[in-house]
Amino acid sequence: MAVVSLSSSKAQPYAIAGDFNGWNNNGTINPGGGPTVYTNIMSGGTPGTFQGVKFIAVPGSWSVTYPSGNLEISYDANGSNTVYLYPGSFSDGWLPLQNRVGFIDPGNMSFEIAGDFTSPNWGSDPAAGMVLQGNGVYTNTYIVATPGTHAFKIRSTGTWSHFNCGTDFGGGNPSNGSFTTTNANQPVQFQLDLPNGRWLAGSAAPAPVTNEVVFAVDMTYQIQLGYFTPGSSVFVAGDFNSWPAPSTGTGLALTNYPPYQGGGNTNIYYGTNTFVGIPSTSPSQYKFNQNDPNAQNGGWESSNNRNVTLLSKNGTNALPVAVFSDVYPAENLTAPAAVFFSIDMSGAVGTDAHTFNPSADSVYINGVFANWYAWAGGINPSPAPGGYQMFEEGLSTIYTNTIILPAGTPLAFQYKYGMDPGSANSGPLDDEAASYVNHVRVVRSTAASPYVLATDKFGGMYSEPYFSATSTGGGNLAVGAIAGSKVPVSWLGRPGAHLQANTNLVGGTWIDMPETDGANWTAGYNSTNGLVSVTNLPVAGRAYFRLVKP
């Protein structure tokens, strides 16, 4: 079995166990769709067969699991499926009220209501079969003959051996769902929402809606970076079509002709898919991918999974035009850049309590620039790609390496180090800090080659300030005292940002100093936050400075 990660790094405290990993209660799961949604994609199974799985509240412990029993899902026609964990409490009227676990409807299952009111009692009643509305939403309205409080479960048709849900979605769960009727022969509506891990009975639940969802992605910057050539194909892959890889050509194919919404940008690729589900919910995660031979990350977007949120009524749901991988030239390297990394391993102790032994152990770096290659010690470990091992400087405790960051790497990028105890794995363990807790550094000058980062301390996860549209204070702009008709100005630079000066904040003209852009500027000194840019500017009277970017 293969566990495929399609999400970017985020902190997460949960694990997953199941048939696919030999019920290892420390299995890694992937954040996706936001900070409170976790996913795991299982592939390589036999279509139509069932897979037992559950999420672990405390990795390595069976004390608390979601659901309480095993969740039994079925592999789809491609031998895969995706399971979700939605931790926390809910007040939307659906059950269960907390820690929901759902999965993608594989299209080969059927469901029915079984309870103390079905005929035969708790048996298969043809009138109790549920009808698929689309995207894993099943409904039925059953006439309950006798008033009172009734117990029931929703189960796979004709059997308790596979899926059944009461208080949660766990198989063998002893607790039933319940509802109350007040009249004889009262109709009761039941709904089952597989992907969102919830059910509803006896309430005026909203009717499913049908949305024609329009996906659109702008490939302009991928073209500029040389990762995509018009004529190659762009697809949407997600829960709704079992995440096909771009090499299969079976994703939702997008087109750029005629130009999107009558505009002039032929680099926008778009397409439509029909979704049926509960209003205002997010029934599906997805990503764009593309099959150009020069594509990064195997053709997949390197950004987080995206979500479809259904409208409150039937209609066309045109999603905002996305930028592939959320890569904008102003926030990413537009050309490869050499960066010098260094890490102090003195007293280094891993999260597994292993103390670094310089005579036997190795150190590696991993990060967004390396497409977050697989850590050692996982379900399917493999050697680290070449070029990411750190090397000791003489007999010091400092390990270094110069790495070429590819074009498209964020200027403010994430990475972390890992030890290889005894150099036995040819690759690192994810042992520097908690899973998905990373260093964040900034390439502040592309004119310096290599650009030298501040020395990291193993386990000291540091995030540098970063000047951007969403972090305007990240430039740490400072002005010193005038000396000799000049004023010292310092700031944390970056490519695409430079100084402007003015003599009047009310009027006057801001004088541009493009030479101070991080694409050109190297003058300054090294600090904990990397290069601090410094310059002395002539002044006469008042002077005001600001840091700007496009």
Angstrom CA distances, 165 to 17, 52, 91, 175, stand at 19, 14, 19, 9
- Alpha-carbon torsion, ordered 136, 137, 141, 142, to 10 deg: 30
pLDDT at res. 78:
81
Same domain, 241 and 350: no
Distance from CA of residue 226 to its chain's centroid? 24
Given this model, what pLDDT does residue 214 score?
98
Taking the model in full, what pTM does it have? 0.56
Q: Are 445 and 486 within one domain?
A: no
- Tell whether 30 and 94 lie within a shared domain: yes
Tokens of 91: 């007040």
Instruction: List the one residue out of 441, 296, 443 whose CA is nearest residue 372.
Output: 296
Say which CATH number the domain at 282 has.
Answer: 2.60.40.10
d(CA 65, CA 186): 37
The last residue of a domain, from among 103, 130, 145: 103
Name the phi and psi angles at 19, rounded to 5.
-60, -35
| DSSP-assigned beta bridge partners for residue 538 | 486
Average pLDDT of span 18-31: 82
Kindly report the CATH number assigned to the domain that includes residue 75: 2.60.40
What is the residue-averaged pLDDT of the chain? Answer: 88
Tally of residues, the chain: 550
In the structure, what pLDDT confidence band is assigned to residue 506 with cuts at 50, 70 and 90?
Answer: confident
Q: Does residue 386 lie in a domain region?
A: yes
* Amino acid of residue 264: G
Of the candidates 506, 509, 498, 514, the residue with the CA atom closest to the CA atom of residue 546: 498
Backbone torsions φ then ψ of 414, nearest 5 degrees: -105, 145
Range 148-159 average pLDDT: 92
Taking only the tens place, the pLDDT of each residue in 79-99 is: 888 898 988 888 777 888 888
Single residue among 103, 124, 144 that ends a domain in this structure: 103
Give the end of a domain, one of 327, 355, 381. 327
- Per-residue pLDDT of 421-462, as tens digits, reads 999 999 999 999 987 789 999 999 999 999 999 999 999 999
19 and 82 housed in the same domain: yes
Do both 286 and 335 map to the same domain?
Answer: no
Domain count, the chain: 4
- Residues 256, 298: one domain? yes
> Residue 268, class by beta-carbon neighbours within 10 Å (0-12 exposed, 13-18 middle, 19+ buried)?
buried
- Mean pLDDT, rounded, for 93-111: 89
- Whether 506 is covered by a domain: the verdict is yes
pLDDT at residue number 96: 87
Q: Is 86 inside any structural domain?
A: yes
Indicate whether 409 and 524 sit together in one domain: no
Q: Exposed/middle/buried for 195, CB within 10 Å: 0-12, 13-18, 19+?
A: buried
Is residue 293 located within the same domain as residue 378?
no
Same domain, 223 and 297: yes
499-518 burial, b at 16+ Cβ within 10 Å, e below that, comes to: bbbbeeeeeeeeeebeebbb
Task: Go through 304-321 and write b for each residue having 16 or more CB atoms within 10 A of its CB, e for each that does not.
Answer: bbbbbebeeeeeebbbeb
- Residue 520, domain extent: 478-548
pLDDT at 380: 61
Confidence of residue 5 (pLDDT cuts 50, 70, 90): very low
CA distance 165 to 114: 11
308 within domain boundaries: yes
CA-based max dimension of the chain: 98
321 and 336 inside one domain: no
